[in-house]
Amino acid sequence: MQDNRLPQQLGNHLKTQVITLGGFLLAFWVLEIIDWLFFHGALNGLGVKPRTLIGLRGIFLAPFLHGNFAHLMANTVPFLVLGWFVIVQGIREFWIVTGVTAVISGLGIWLFGSSNSIHIGASGLIFGYFGYLLLRGYFERSLRAILWAIVVVILYGGMLWGVLPLRVGVSWQAHLFGFIGGGVAAYWLSQRHAMLKDQIIIHE
């Protein structure tokens, strides 16, 4: 019975992963199309506005908003690839990394972003996934985590330059604090997994 259930469980797990990650991408594209058709870019005003009370709403809204279709296209592939690398390690891990990254990235922008600016885009989440995969290899020290880190460095190692203020009009704050958020999630999850691994299970 267990052998028969395993393929079904794996199939359901894969389906949940695809729906979750696909749901994010669908939301990105649907919102951009709606903004382009009906609001002429006005929805971008819902992004993070540094040091304003109303700007706090952008912490969770900004990742779903993009300046134009070129901006969205530039974020779609790395979000899909790095997001998939995270979600295959567990749906729960994906939600934790996403939530921690969104909050830390958003608050970092809100505290340290330029005045009279609005920050939008999923790059904070992308850098969070990058930071999580990279730093989990350091914190966990397992072969699996280290191999994931190596793969990520090979594919996207150049992203590290994005945490520096090198380009005008690019939210390096989102990149930097997104990376930090991913690192925080990596540390917390690696510590949690180590604690669970060390627990002694007693059968009565």
Strand partners, 119: 48
Average pLDDT over residues 126-148: 96
Max CA distance (Å), the chain: 65
Q: What's the gap between Cα 44 and its chain centre?
A: 19
| CA separation, residue 187 to residues 100, 116, 137 (Å) | 12, 34, 10
pLDDT, tens digit, 9 for 90 and up, residues 44-76? 999 999 999 999 999 999 999 999 999 999 999
Sequence letter at residue 32: E
Q: Is the pLDDT of residue 204 over 80?
A: no
Write down the number of H helices and E strands in the chain.
7, 0
Query: Residue 9: which pLDDT band, with cuts at 50, 70 and 90?
Result: confident
Percent of the chain residues past pLDDT 70, beyond the cut: 94
The full set of domains in the chain, from first to last, is 2-198 (1.20.1540.10)
Distance, in Å, from the CA atom of 131 to the CA atom of 109, rounded to the nearest integer, reads 17
pLDDT in tens, 16-49: 999 999 999 999 999 999 999 999 999 999 999 9
**Residue type, position 96, single letter:** I
What is the pTM for the complete model shown? 0.92
Band the pLDDT of 82: cuts 50, 70, 90.
very high
Give CA–CA dist 162/190, Å, rounded.
25
